Structure 1
């Protein structure tokens, strides 16, 4: 990107590359010494240089909000439990921030994530964007935003299956129809307490507890939400219940809420990123 088309944004306690590679979002692409993607309908280039970001001119405010640069990250990390697993994950993922993503885009992405690896989710996201998303020019690049629920509701299940969604196509289409019709008002749900928000999300096709907690954390900024997938379940059982022969999902849920507390979602993301990237069983 040309320097004249960029502006500077302070980003203390932030690691752009770690954050974008932590399994929260699936569409950012490396470009030169930075990354390109969209935030809503805004196409962006973003590059980190020390404690500063270079971002597309006019997009500093959007980037500051999306990357949650106002979160008191040092305070959040100091609130983590003082144990070996958590300390290792915190040190490994230093600078990782929880993004503020658009509700529908985040919900749709995680509906497609069921039983899929990150690389596959990225491929599905790209196929959906290129087929139904709005094209945007960024210098000599063409980027596609994530299509609205209305656009997705007009697709057919077979068209979605052609994007490698498999059985997820039916769920994504049914949820898109509910959101497009207003039966599921994702924006209005911002006013709901955590328990009711989780309940409403779980009523949508393709949404179980794990996906609901991901959407609560990454789109609704409910920082206590603690998604438990196979990676986190393995970490919890190995590190926190090493002698237990059987640990139920309910026991894990209650333990995580109490033990990791107010910033449990941040703790979960650090544990997840560390498990996925620092073990030989990488996703």
Structure 2
């Protein structure tokens, strides 16, 4: 039987494993018989929360603390925006939701392939890539597959990647893998750049749109000042926070730029967390999980 490790959570700052993993921010986590099982790079991790204790296997406690950012004080975020009527409702509904710290390459690969609306399932594009190019892993009698690193994708070749049935994404991912190999310190570089320079740097990778760059910065590099804007966020934010705002320019890019400016002024260094809570207020996966 697999050895189970435990961590006692800090009761002064909330954490909900179920809400954090059911929102779909990180790929390839599934819930089964009271446990969450996920593949992070080459590790199969099994974890559950019972009151203020985390039980897990497949990694060490340091990884769990870092991955779930257990040292981040959510209470400061809650206090600062307790008067915001929308966030106040989100705090009650999504209490304990944390932004996980994904591996930068895995996050980049996921964000390049994910649909505009976050999806869950055991056969999304990143899973197809893992099955086609990654390493087979056996955990509790079941097969899983690692996320292939940039070197593995490069060595496997574009033709092999195309067999993963991911369409035009194959060429973009292959070219980005080559770029990452050339600039191995890309994550360290971008983590200390200002907002626009960081986005511009990542957008220079083949197939990386602005929104992809923003999600990577937020979900893997702890850049909580980042406020990704997509169609859903734009419409929601304009409707609820910019009712009386008149745009000097039309077009989605101009509006998105204005939304980011307003969000920066309103939320500052908490912009990414504010977006994550607002984004997930009506997340069907969280609602289905809570109901079950």
TM range, normalised to the smaller chain?
Answer: 0.7 to 0.9
Corresponding residue of 1:262:
269
Change (3 A) 1:32 1:278: closer
Corresponding residue of 1:5:
3
Change (3 A) 1:260 1:122: farther
Q: How far apart, CA to CA, are the structure 2 residues paired with 1:279 and 1:222? A: 24
Change (3 A) 1:142 1:263: same
Change (3 A) 1:149 1:8: same
Q: How far apart, CA to CA, are the structure 2 residues paired with 1:116 and 1:90? A: 22
Q: How far apart, CA to CA, are the structure 2 residues paired with 1:105 and 1:121? A: 16
Task: Compute the displacement of 1:121 (Å).
Answer: 9.2
Verify the 8 A CA contact 1:231 1:276 in the aligned structure 2: no
Please report the RMSD computed on the Cα atoms of aligned residues, expressed in angstroms: 2.6
SS in 1 for 2:72: coil
Task: Compute the displacement of 1:47 (Å).
Answer: 0.8
Greater mean deviation of Cα atoms: 121-130 or 68-77 = 121-130
Q: How far apart, CA to CA, are the structure 1 residues paired with 2:166 and 2:228? A: 22
Corresponding residue of 1:41:
42
Verify the 8 A CA contact 2:191 2:223 in the aligned structure 1: no
SS in 2 for 1:118: coil
Verify the 8 A CA contact 1:235 1:275 in the aligned structure 2: no
Change (3 A) 1:241 1:122: farther
Q: Which runs of 4+ in 1 moved over 6 A?
A: none
Change (3 A) 1:60 1:259: same
Note the residue ranges of structure 2 that are not aligned, 5 or more in a row.
288-292
Change (3 A) 1:122 1:15: farther
Verify the 8 A CA contact 1:79 1:263 in the aligned structure 2: no
Please give the per-residue CA displacement for 1:131-152, whole angstroms capped at 9, x wherever unaligned: 2222233232332221101112
Corresponding residue of 2:143:
142
Corresponding residue of 1:189:
189
Q: How far apart, CA to CA, are the structure 1 residues paired with 2:285 and 2:188? A: 39
